[in-house]
Structure 1
Amino acid sequence: MSTLSLAPAFSMGTAAAAPVQLRSGVRLTRRGRLVVFLTSLFVVLAVAFALAGGAVGTDSAGEQIPTEIVQVGPGDTLWGIASEIATDGDVRSAMNEIERLNALESAGLQAGQKLRVPVVSD
């Protein structure tokens, strides 16, 4: 028969080893933490304002398109309304313009709905 003996990894003698605590060289006081927080906040706000300043498209106001209100009748479609106002024959661009003016998500219309359409100049 064979025997197995294990040696302890550390000695449990009279002087027990105390756990080692590592301390960093910097300790912040309450005022120091406040200064770090406010400085970080200032940097974040400065970056946000710098990036938001470039979001301006132009310095002048855009030109408004003259429009009129059209009430959708039963059986009316966006294609039909756009074909009535498309003087150059480009019905798709007229449809896109009507969708943009009215913030439409789809080409579906309901009877009684009021739409802003560009004024046709003859």
Structure 2
Amino acid sequence: MRQHPRNPPIRLTRRGRVVLFCLLLVVAGGLFTLVAVPGQAADQPGPAPVVIVQPGDTLWDIATRHAGGRGRDATMEEIRRLNNLDGYSVDAGQRLTLPRQR
């Protein structure tokens, strides 16, 4: 009976190990790039929504109508921030930029 010769173990030279390591880094970097979640999405394209304050409107009323899922208080503070309002009063005819719906 004839014995099959044993396959010698694969031996890598130093250059081979460096090339293999670099290849693994490239593959790992590519996978990381594909699965990485962006920190924040960019604002939606197009103009920001704007409302013109009607007689009798308050910032509270406007925030209540446009709160969506974020809540009235958070919406009111966002309206103040977007329009650089110091207080909570608004005047009829004033144009207010509203936060985008999420």
Q: TM-score, normalised by structure 1?
A: 0.43
Asked if structure 2 preserves the Cα contact closer than 8 Å seen for 1:69 and 1:116, the reply is yes
1:71 to 45, 49, 52: 52
Q: Match for 2:72: what amino acid?
A: V
Q: Which runs of 5+ in 2 are unaligned?
A: 1-40
Superposed CA deviations along residues 65-119 of structure 1, whole A, max 9, x for unmatched, are: 6621110000001011101111226110000000000000001000000000023
d(CA) in 2 for partners of 1:115 and 1:89? Answer: 18
Counterpart in the other structure of 1:102: 83
Q: Which has the higher contact order (CA 8 A, sep 6+)?
A: 2
What RMSD over aligned residues (CA atoms) do the two structures have, in Å? 2.2
Structure 1 segments (4+ residues) deviating >4 Å: none
d(CA) in 1 for partners of 2:98 and 2:82? Answer: 7
Counterpart in the other structure of 1:34: none
d(CA) in 2 for partners of 1:97 and 1:71? Answer: 16
Q: Match for 1:76: what amino acid?
A: D
- Identity percentage of aligned residues: 40
Q: From the CA coordinates, give the structure whose radius of gyration is larger.
A: 1
Q: Which runs of 5+ in 1 are unaligned?
A: 1-61
Q: TM-score, normalised by structure 2?
A: 0.51
